[in-house]
Amino acid sequence: MPDKRYIDIKVIDGGWQMDAGQQPEATSDLYSIAQDIKHAIMEKGLARELQAERNPALRADVLVRIEQEAERDIRVIPGTATATEVSPEYITLSAEAYEFGPTGDIQIEVMA
């Protein structure tokens, strides 16, 4: 098994995921990349902006900006990010990483 390239503390619902010994759990590689992208989108305020916007054309614009934010990560292949609105509360973001292939679906909750 190859060595893990990217290692991070796993964050769930805004807090560290703890193991049975109350130590922070680690995450790596694809999950770490997905977590970093999710946090970048949240820190830029794009998820909150999407939630506040009611105009369909302007909502589509925010989704494009979310895709662009994901593609700013140097580990993501430009042109591969796709943000899809699943419901008013959730979007799904998919992208491909250079070293790992498809990152799979990143579920992002749009919070109030």
Q: State pTM to two decimals.
A: 0.81
For 87, what's the count of Cα atoms within 13 Å in the CB-facing half-sphere?
Answer: 5
Q: Residue range 46-51: average pLDDT? A: 91
pLDDT of 80-89, one tens digit each? 999 998 887 7
Q: C-alpha angle with apex 98: 87 to 109, nearest 5 degrees?
A: 20
